[in-house]
């Protein structure tokens, strides 16, 4: 049963989430702000898989991720899900900034459920070069700030390196490596009293390090991308083992401004193995003026 504070947090979450949808809808129907894009081609972390490519949003371009959604089912039959509305802006050539607000909805079992903001996620991505005889390279710096009822007590900063390489003009391979700075999370007591939901990217997990590889194939005539991944991550709780994950996903361009994506994956090892699914929509557009 939710406490009054949890109900208040849930109501605030609903109002803020509705604002994201209204903003996105207004922008989607404003033709003079739109510019044709092929956004399906560029993958983002969590859309539809965790491993992303090395390319940033175009300069002066905006992207609003309306409802990136992830649902997890553990092998104990417990369901948790998260939603992270996010704004991205191409602030410089080959560089974009992002602001996200991850919301977590946690089922701790025995009817104990809670929901709330799990932090404020800030990041900047810079693409070092386009792919030529060498792969495309990018770096990402991000910070998860302590804001909301389900956020950690302190901020966590991360750095990520990304490599993208095209193979025989038919597929692309992406390699990601990420490290997170900050204190480890509290150990879980035997009675579970110290247990807290691991939140962060996509409002569900925060790891000490993550490394993985993905391969994708695009079908330009259909505006479709198909991708698959394998990655490992070490939770911030030192007592937990390295988790191996695998997943597949699709990303499809519905119109010059709107794309959708979905994926399914499985956690193969670790303390809480289970299935997860992702779904997301995004509106991309460009500013009407030029410097």
- Predicted confidence (pLDDT) per residue in 207-259, tens digit: 899 999 999 999 988 899 999 999 999 988 777 888 999 999 999 999 888 99
Domain that includes residue 160, residue range = 4-286
Domain with residue 230: its CATH number is: 2.40.160.40
Does this model's pTM top 0.85? My answer is no
| Residue 269 confidence class, pLDDT cut points 50, 70, 90 | confident
Does residue 22 belong to any structural domain of this protein? Answer: yes
Lowest mean pLDDT among 35-44, 46-55, 63-72, 158-167: 35-44
Helix (H, G, I), strand (E, B) or coil at 217: strand
| Residue 63 confidence class, pLDDT cut points 50, 70, 90 | very high
Helix (H, G, I), strand (E, B) or coil at 142: strand
Helix (H, G, I), strand (E, B) or coil at 137: strand
Q: Are 152 and 146 in contact (CB under 8 A)?
A: yes
Does residue 155 belong to any structural domain of this protein? Answer: yes
Instruction: Check residue 180 and give its pLDDT.
Output: 95
Share of the chain above pLDDT 90, in %: 46
Compute, in degrees rounded to 10, the torsion defined by CA atoms 147, 245, 79, 69. Answer: 60
To the nearest whole number, what is the mean pLDDT of the chain? 80
Share of the chain above pLDDT 70, in %: 76
Length of the chain, please?
A: 291
Does residue 118 belong to any structural domain of this protein? Answer: yes
Does residue 40 belong to any structural domain of this protein? Answer: yes
Does residue 102 belong to any structural domain of this protein? Answer: yes
Lowest mean pLDDT among 14-28, 144-158, 242-256: 14-28
In the chain, the number of structural domains is 1
Q: Give the list of residues 6+ apart from residue 274 with CB closer than 8 angstroms, or none.
A: 72, 73, 74, 75, 266, 267
Q: Are 97 and 120 in contact (CB under 8 A)?
A: no
| Residue 140 confidence class, pLDDT cut points 50, 70, 90 | very high
According to DSSP H, which parts of the chain are helical? Answer: 4-28
| Residue 273 confidence class, pLDDT cut points 50, 70, 90 | confident
Does residue 198 belong to any structural domain of this protein? Answer: yes
Does residue 218 belong to any structural domain of this protein? Answer: yes
Does residue 291 belong to any structural domain of this protein? Answer: no
């Amino acid at each position: 049963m939710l406490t009054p504070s949890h109900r208040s947090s849930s109501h605030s979450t609903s109002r803020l989430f509705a604002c994201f949808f209204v903003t996105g809808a207004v922008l989607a129907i404003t033709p003079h702000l739109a510019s044709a894009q092929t956004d399906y081609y560029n993958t983002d972390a969590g859309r539809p898989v965790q491993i992303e490519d090395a390319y940033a949003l175009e300069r002066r371009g905006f992207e609003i991720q309306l409802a990136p959604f992830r649902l997890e089912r553990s092998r104990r039959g417990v369901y948790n899900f998260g939603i992270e509305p996010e704004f991205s802006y191409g602030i410089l050539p080959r560089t974009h900034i992002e602001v996200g607000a991850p919301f977590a909805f946690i089922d701790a079992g025995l009817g104990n459920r809670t929901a709330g903001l799990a932090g404020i996620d800030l990041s900047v991505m810079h693409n070092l070069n386009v792919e030529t005889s060498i792969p495309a390279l990018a770096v990402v710096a991000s910070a998860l700030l302590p804001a909301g009822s389900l956020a950690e007590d302190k901020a966590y900063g991360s750095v990520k390196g990304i490599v993208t390489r095209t193979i025989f003009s038919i597929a692309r391979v992406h390699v990601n490596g990420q490290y997170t700075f900050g204190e480890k999370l509290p150990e879980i007591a035997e009675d579970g009293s110290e247990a807290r939901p691991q939140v962060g990217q996509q409002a569900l997990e925060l790891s000490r390090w993550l490394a993985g590889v993905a391969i994708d194939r695009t079908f330009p005539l259909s505006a479709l991308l198909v991708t698959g991944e394998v990655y490992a991550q070490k939770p911030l709780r030192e007592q937990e083992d390295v988790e191996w994950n695998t997943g597949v996903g699709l990303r499809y361009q519905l119109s010059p401004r709107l794309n959708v994506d979905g994926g399914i994956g499985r956690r193969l090892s670790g303390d809480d193995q289970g299935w997860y699914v992702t779904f997301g929509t995004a509106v991309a557009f460009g500013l009407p003026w030029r410097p």
